[in-house]
């Protein structure tokens, strides 16, 4: 596995103040990993020669989250405040996101709208599950009129500054993928792709921990500018 800490040395453009854009970019990346695990790994490595068996002719209907404009504005402000503190390295309270929060952001945040109606993230206990329904038109004639409808359960953590996302179980068209395939996939850190984008890598370096517990995702920022404690 490539060392995810070996990152490009190019300098990213300065973040826009007041937007928490690095964190939004990081969140986008994590959500996209759910898609990548089901789409890239499954399509390219497994269903390439079994398109009809593992795809559908119609998209899967995913759950929808209802949130008022006022509720979403408060959520958006909370996330951006956390992102701004993270970018500056100043102490801040952990960001706690529920399943409803995450899916409202996917549906309504400007830079995540392309995922609306294509992905739903469920947080049950200590599990993160991504449901996806994605048109396979990019595969050309092979995927014309076909949809990848799948569900994947993940382990998500941050260890020593490195984001770890591993697949535990994947279903496509309601079928569990064979254990011979899954045993290999479980050994891969799906988040290694995140480090190919410098802004995502920068955001991840600013995080202290990610925990999934009691159906909530708790994200803690690394406070680099915290004054030393006086004894």
Q: CA nearest 130: which of 45, 51, 192, 212?
A: 212
Give the 3-state secondary structure of residue 134. strand
Residue-by-residue DSSP string for 150-171: EEEEEEEEEETTEEEEEEEEEE
Phi then psi dihedrals of residue 125, to 5 deg: 60, -115
Beta strand 119-124 with 95-98 is: unpaired
Q: CA nearest 206: which of 86, 97, 84?
A: 86
CA distances from 173 to 57, 154, 184, 188 (A): 11, 18, 21, 23
Residue-by-residue DSSP string for 196-208: GSHHHHHHHHTEE
CA 230 to chain centre: 39
Asked if pLDDT for residue 120 goes beyond 50, the answer is yes
Percentage of the chain with pLDDT > 90? 15
State pLDDT tens for residues 31-70. 666 665 565 566 556 666 666 777 788 889 999 999 999 9
The angle subtended at Cα 35 by Cα 156 and Cα 186, nearest 5°, is 50
Dist. CA 177–CA 86, nearest whole Å: 38
Asked if pLDDT for residue 78 goes beyond 90, the answer is yes
Tokens found for residue 96: 């706690």
State pLDDT tens for residues 167-219. 888 888 888 888 888 888 888 888 887 787 787 788 888 889 888 899 999 99
Confidence of residue 23 (pLDDT cuts 50, 70, 90): low
Average pLDDT, the chain: 76
Q: In terms of pLDDT, which residue wins out, 199 or 9?
A: 199
Q: What are the contacts of 26-30 at 24+ separation with CB within 8 A?
A: 26/194, 26/200, 26/203, 26/204, 26/207, 27/79, 27/105, 27/112, 28/111, 28/112, 29/194, 29/197, 29/200, 29/203, 30/156, 30/163, 30/165, 30/191, 30/194
């Amino acid at each position: 596995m490539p060392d995810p800490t070996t990152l490009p040395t190019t300098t990213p453009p300065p973040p826009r103040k007041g937007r928490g854009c690095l964190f939004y970019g990081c969140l986008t990346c994590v959500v996209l990993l759910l898609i990548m695990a089901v789409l890239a790994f499954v399509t390219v490595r497994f269903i390439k020669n079994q398109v009809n068996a593992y795809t559908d002719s119609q998209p899967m209907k995913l759950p929808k989250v209802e949130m008022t404009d006022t509720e979403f504005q408060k959520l958006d402000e909370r996330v951006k405040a956390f992102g701004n503190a993270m970018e500056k390295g100043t102490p801040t309270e952990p960001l706690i996101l529920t399943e409803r929060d995450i899916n409202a952001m996917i549906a309504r945040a400007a830079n995540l709208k392309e995922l609306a109606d294509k992905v739903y993230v469920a947080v049950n206990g200590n599990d993160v599950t991504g449901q996806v329904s994605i048109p396979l038109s990019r595969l050309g004639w092979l995927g014309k009129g076909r949809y990848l409808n799948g569900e994947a359960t993940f382990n998500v953590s941050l260890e020593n500054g490195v984001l770890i996302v591993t697949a535990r179980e994947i279903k496509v068209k309601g079928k569990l993928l064979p254990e011979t395939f899954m045993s290999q996939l479980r050994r891969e850190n799906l988040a290694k792709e995140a480090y190919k984008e410098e802004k995502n890598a920068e955001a991840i370096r600013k995080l202290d921990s990610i925990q999934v517990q009691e159906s909530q995702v708790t994200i803690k920022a690394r406070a680099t500018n915290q004054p030393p404690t006086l004894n």
